[in-house]
Structure 1
Amino acid sequence: MREFHKDDLINFLPNFETFVGIDSDGCVFDTMETKQKEHFHPAIIKHWGLEAIEPQVRAAAEFTYLYSTYRGLNRFLGLCKTFELLRDWPEAADKATIPDPADLRIFCDSGQPLGNATILAEAERTGSKLLAEAHQWSVDLNEDIDKNMPAPPPFEGVEAALKRIQAHSDAIVISQTQAVALLKDWYRDNLAQYVSVIAGPELGSKIDHFTMAAVDRYKANAILMIGDAPGDLAAAQAIGCNFFPINPGHEVESWVRFMDEAYDAFLAGGFSEAYQAELIHEFKALLPGIPPWKS
């Protein structure tokens, strides 16, 4: 199992005129529901002793990590947002001591790669109790997922799509899933053979991944991001490239649409303005910005 480094992105050499960045969790692999509900959210409750408000913690975490405009956030950004929502929710804040996420917000907004090594370094540098706790939560979470989570299957149609992409485009994985889990998923099902680099948060943000590997090497309309979260759309918009959504809850249908029409349109010169707008409208309609307990 090969590990990847920033140099793999910085020194990326094109073989084709088109480039495809592909997200992993919830896009290629059917991981999101199980990983979040059975591992992430119980770990938040246990680690910070929030059993008294378990229903509220689960609701806030599910909204943040799965069912909103925040879907697909890096785990530390998602943890920070979950605490912010809980502290602003009287039914939760009045029943339990919810951590003040100020230190975590500063770390998340620092521009550093949001991984275990960097949060540990910041915890040691600043003496922040919360950052140290978040680091341990993340380490324990990785161990729990590695030992106890069933192997997530790729969505139907993914391998056929990857084979086709490999034949016509340069392709890399652009993800915020930590490398320990990311590499395991891609090598277990031998899908790593279809991509040149597997990049997680240790190598930077998704915009960083694109900037290092693709920007200045390909025309903007020759770059495509495939993803299932608003962060994927934001990365695509930041560099001005095409975006194809794997719609949450409609993943198999999305891959069929990719094979039937979207990839051909991309190879023919990029998505038209009208087609891109249609894809984004359908995608955004699935992910609200206001929690259900406030709407």
Structure 2
Amino acid sequence: MSTIFDSFERKHDFLICVDSDGCAMDTMDIKHFRCFGPCMIEVWGLHAHEQELLARWNEINLYTMTRGINRFKGLAIALKEAEETYDDVQIDDLETFLRWTEITKELSNRAIEDVLAQKESKSLRMALEWSERVNVAIKKSSGRGKSSI
């Protein structure tokens, strides 16, 4: 079987590769280590199990077949597992958020805002807060307002 690389001719001393989300560098790991996981711990007050939950967050989002999963789908898995694993973890209104991740046509902040405009939900409100905090953390990490971490 022939591939595109069979006919590749080197013309430069370097090769630039661009990821499917437009990143020229692998920034996924650092975003999850510094932004996604830590913001989940903060928003839901999960400090008592921080190390275990961060490790599991990274497994879900970086080291298993679910790598690259949508942020809200990854959050749903992590929160559900946290509640099932730790007796002292109770996520208010979790079922509403889990159901939303399964039925929504769009997994985005805007889609959560649309639902919240119709009916209040603690879990959706917290998921929105988490997602917005993640976005701020990513921007702060870059130092230039762009995601270059």
Alignment TM class, shorter chain as reference: 0.7 to 0.9
Question: Within the alignment, does 1:112 sit opposite 2:105 as a pair?
Answer: yes
Partner of 1:101: 94
Q: Structure 2 CA distance, aligned partners of 1:59 and 1:95?
A: 18
Question: Within the alignment, does 1:139 sit opposite 2:139 as a pair?
Answer: no
Q: Structure 2 CA distance, aligned partners of 1:81 and 1:138?
A: 15
Could you tell me whether the CA contact under 8 Å between 2:116 and 2:124 is conserved in 1?
Answer: yes
Question: Within the alignment, does 1:45 sit opposite 2:41 as a pair?
Answer: yes
In the TM superposition, what whole-angstrom CA distance separates every residue of 1:7-52 from its partner, at most 9, and x where no partner exists? xxxxxxxxxxxxxxx6227x74311111001111110001111101
Could you tell me whether the CA contact under 8 Å between 2:92 and 2:122 is conserved in 1?
Answer: no
- Return the match for 1:65 from 47, 61, 81: 61
**Match runs of 1:207-246 below 5 Å:** none
Alpha-carbon shift at residue 77 of structure 1 (Å): 0.7
Could you tell me whether the CA contact under 8 Å between 2:33 and 2:58 is conserved in 1?
Answer: yes
Could you tell me whether the CA contact under 8 Å between 1:64 and 1:71 is conserved in 2?
Answer: yes
3-state SS of paired residue (2:45): coil
**Match runs of 1:11-30 below 5 Å:** 23-24=20-21, 28-30=24-26
Q: How many residues are aligned here?
A: 130
Which structure carries more relative contact order (alpha carbon 8 Å, separation 6+)?
1
Q: Once the two structures are aligned, what percentage of the paired residues are identical?
A: 30
Partner of 2:8: none
Q: Structure 2 CA distance, aligned partners of 1:78 and 1:87?
A: 14
Partner of 1:237: none
Q: Which amino acid aligns with 1:147?
A: K
Could you tell me whether the CA contact under 8 Å between 2:93 and 2:122 is conserved in 1?
Answer: no
Alpha-carbon shift at residue 98 of structure 1 (Å): 3.8
In the TM superposition, what whole-angstrom CA distance separates every residue of 1:90-113 from its partner, at most 9, and x where no partner exists? xxx124334553111221112421
Q: Structure 2 CA distance, aligned partners of 1:130 and 1:147?
A: 25
Q: Structure 1 CA distance, aligned partners of 2:83 and 2:134?
A: 23
- For structure 1, list consecutive stretches of 5 or more residues without a partner in the other structure: 1-21, 152-180, 189-295
3-state SS of paired residue (2:126): helix
TM-score, normalization by structure 1: 0.40
3-state SS of paired residue (2:69): coil
Alpha-carbon shift at residue 68 of structure 1 (Å): 1.2
* Residues 114 and 58 (structure 1), Cα distance of their counterparts in 2 relative to 1, 3 Å cut: same
Partner of 1:31: 27
TM-score, normalization by structure 2: 0.76
Could you tell me whether the CA contact under 8 Å between 1:52 and 1:96 is conserved in 2?
Answer: no
